[in-house]
Chains A and B, each alone.
Chain A
């Protein structure tokens, strides 16, 4: 199942309007956002963090051996340390919600969350990272946690002895298929492209297993079931096929969480926020950090560093423009 899908699960939570004006609002709670929070607090900026979850992609990293100060640490442990460090400071945190819109309001910036909270700030650091791409198939959202999974290591064991499908053609799809082949009688591997993108060695191992049913040029149209997934409709060159599966593991890559900034900040063709080496975006006063930006190399240490850099740039901008 993975991390919480706050909005769906928290409809009983009433949205509240926040009318304070912050010096800086940080969007995102991964390595870049948390590091930005600490730097902002240490500059005594009145700060608010808005994040869907704390941890981001770092949570999915099993072992980290290249973050300085730790010979080995798991992703969740590292994030726990980041969070504990952030919690030393009096920073407003709005958690469990995504920002839906970011705009200018007079000389300030206004963020509106999915539950309707409004946050005003003099400057912004966008560090919203990336998320697993969804298929966009009918029924997909409704069956999340009931057969549709975006975290095979979290949910895989619950599908032992059941037919499952893995969607995707890259390394993560093949690694998931390899894990599921150990548990399941049939594993469909469904890729929309006409060839596999995974490393050759992975392809050899997985495709040679007789329990593996490869399906190229095939698109998942619909996921069906009652309280659980029962089948999946796949569009193929030979027409639609309905396959009996109990689990659907989606491994079709990552996309930047930048939809809220479309039309406001300049994005590249992949949807990443374009930043310069000072983390400046196309809008003065809005800075970007980490995987949601065009900064090359998506690494925890780089994201944390970029988060720090973005805040220092924002701080200088606030002073230069006499905002603080």
Chain B
């Protein structure tokens, strides 16, 4: 049975009129599919059929070692979005359902346009991030604030390749939610060490990244705050 109904398909097709260049979606699943793997694979297959510029590749997490290593995939289901062949550091762990479906659409369109869509001031600020920062954004599909945090982070990653972004569906990975003390979403964790909760406006979000970078330079390897 199809995951996307006709009404949603119509809307997605409308949105996909904005696609300009090819986008590759890579799904990591496995032969005996995990709890949400089948759903993720099917959803992405349906999505790929709705836009001519969308290419889909599906790999087995256990067998496709080279791909798993290349894209540094840590768990499944995982989605990688490439702008053509270019990896801009975006990973989605879990099924992008509910509000998070719009996050994925947004990232696909951004990657296809090859443009982050950020305003000039924000782009200038982002240039100040010159160290590698890894962001984990914990989301849940029923959280209306989550796409804002996830989309902002994805746009930052597209603009500045020092940033890597993993969107994690917290209810599918409760052990991660527990490890990072997630009691509300969205929650952003920067380099395993510090973080904040809530969907901040982009300029403030960047200030947190700059703050994290500053502390990393001062005390590399030292935890700087409650994650």
Interface residues of A (CB under 8 A from B): 1-6, 9-10, 12-13, 29, 51, 53-55, 59-62, 71-72, 74-77, 79-80, 84, 87, 93, 95-96, 145-147, 149, 151, 153-158, 228
Distance in angstroms from A45 CB to nearest chain B CB is: 18
Q: Are B198 and A4 in contact (CB under 8 A)?
A: yes
Cβ contacts B135-159/A at 8 Å (1 or 0 each) = 0000010111111100100000000
Question: Known pairs A2-B184, A4-B200, A9-B196. 9 more at Cβ < 8 A?
Answer: A2-B199, A3-B145, A3-B199, A6-B204, A13-B204, A80-B102, A80-B151, A95-B201, A95-B202
Q: How far is B211's CA from A157's CA once the two chains are assembled, in angstroms?
A: 30
Interface residues of B (CB under 8 A from A): 7, 11, 99, 102, 106, 117-119, 121, 140, 142-148, 151, 170-171, 177, 182-187, 196-204, 207-208, 211
Selected contact of A154 from candidates B118, B140, B177, CB within 8 Å: B140
Q: How far is B58's CA from A222's CA once the two chains are assembled, in angstroms?
A: 52
Q: Are A12 and B211 in contact (CB under 8 A)?
A: yes
Write out the residue numbers on chain A whose beta carbons fall within 8 Å of the beta carbon of B147. 76-77, 80
Given A4-B199, A12-B211, A87-B119, A59–B183 Cβ distance below 8 Å? no
Distance in angstroms from A170 CB to nearest chain B CB is: 19
Q: Are A4 and B102 in contact (CB under 8 A)?
A: no
Q: Are A155 and B201 in contact (CB under 8 A)?
A: no
Distance in angstroms from A316 CB to nearest chain B CB is: 29
Write out the residue numbers on chain B whose beta carbons fall within 8 Å of the beta carbon of A51. 201
Given A76-B102, A145-B184, A96–B198 Cβ distance below 8 Å? no
Q: Are B142 and A4 in contact (CB under 8 A)?
A: no
Q: Are A145 and B183 in contact (CB under 8 A)?
A: yes
Could you write out 22 A-B pairs with CB less than 8 Å apart?
Answer: A1-B145, A1-B186, A4-B198, A4-B199, A4-B200, A9-B198, A12-B211, A13-B207, A53-B201, A54-B148, A54-B201, A76-B102, A77-B102, A77-B147, A80-B147, A87-B118, A145-B183, A155-B183, A157-B140, A158-B182, A158-B183, A228-B183
Write out the residue numbers on chain A whose beta carbons fall within 8 Å of the beta carbon of B199. 2-4, 53, 55, 59
Distance in angstroms from B207 CB to nearest chain A CB is: 5
Write out the residue numbers on chain A whose beta carbons fall within 8 Å of the beta carbon of B11. 71-72
Write out the residue numbers on chain A whose beta carbons fall within 8 Å of the beta carbon of B118. 87
